[in-house]
Amino acid sequence: MTAALTTEDRALLRVPNVAWVITMHADGIPHATVTWIDTTETHVLVNTAVGRRKDRNVERNPLVTIAVQRGADAYDWISVEGVVEERQLGDAAENHIAELCRAYDDREWDYVEGQQRVRWLIRPTRIVRYGQ
């Protein structure tokens, strides 16, 4: 099943609002981290480093939840449940983290020696909206 992102959803996911990304540990306990967020017309995008706990969790179990609120307004948010359909490495991931860094921090990305970036393409399966 796929849930469609609306224009309002994409606008919320494209501006520099910080998101919570929830993955599942092998023992079933949720793991939540704060991260930068982005979107295409159909997918939510998350960028992280290969080997981080959330990426290891996704390799084992591709089901994730993303929660993002508009700025400081805790009453304007969405929660997107979905499946990581693809993990993109190489130029796609490196260029994406550079774009996110400019959007969130208004600066160029500082390459980390030995770090390999990965971009997740998440297909939404359920979206809960509040305040829209």
Across the range 60-71, mean pLDDT stands at: 95
Distance CA 127, CA 132 (A): 12
Domains of the chain: 7-130 (2.30.110.10)
Quote the tokens at residue 28: 């079933």
Can you give the pLDDT at residue 109? 75
| Cα–Cα distances in angstroms (integers) from residue 53 to residues 9, 57, 59, 60, 96, in the given order | 27, 6, 10, 11, 20
Grade residue 67 by pLDDT with cuts at 50, 70 and 90.
very high
Can you give the pLDDT at residue 106? 82
Can you give the pLDDT at residue 41? 96
Distance CA 73, CA 47 (A): 24
Please give the single-letter amino acid code of residue 19. A
* This prediction's pTM: 0.93
- Residue 63, pLDDT > 90, answer yes
Can you give the pLDDT at residue 26? 96
| Sheet with 63-70, side-by-side order of all strands | 30-35, 19-24, 63-70, 73-88, 117-130, 44-49, 38-39
What phi, psi does 113 have (nearest 5°)? -55, 130
For the stretch 91-124, what's the b/e string if a residue is b when 16 or more beta carbons lie within 10 angstroms of its beta carbon? Answer: eebbebbbebbeebeeeebeeeeeeebbbbbbbb
Percent of residues, the chain, with pLDDT higher than 70: 99
